Structure 1
Amino acid sequence: MKNMVKTARLQMNLTQQQLAELTGVTRQTISLIEKGKYNPTLKLCLDICYTVNKSLDELFWIDKEEL
């Protein structure tokens, strides 16, 4: 799954640690999500979206050829 979490986080002037605290996960989890090495739950995806004021489809997607 691809994402724009890092870009959105930086636009909100948040560190990985701050985003982690706001969404109830560890900084390491945010780092792995940003690198595309961890697929978050739908709930965590939505928590991140609400925190950075973006919609789900703005932040997360899967390319058709990856399905």
Structure 2
Amino acid sequence: MLHIPQKDIEWYKRRPGYYGMVQDNLKKLNDTLGDIDMTKDQEKTLVWLAGNDTRTIDNIIKVIEKLKQD
């Protein structure tokens, strides 16, 4: 399950609205990816990606869902 590392939470919370957006984006990614094994580097990359705007995450999720259908 993807989550913001405990050591970084305060940094995320210092930016108004950012922490909530990242949490929402991580929830979407977790819901889409399910329970798959990932390396720590892969998890870090997806947490970083969750810091992008919601449209970016929605587009990435659409790509993942298309791959799941094939």
**Structure 2-normalised TM-score?**
0.31
Relative contact order higher in (CA < 8 Å, ≥ 6 apart): 1
Structure with a larger share of its residues in strand: 1
Larger radius of gyration: 2
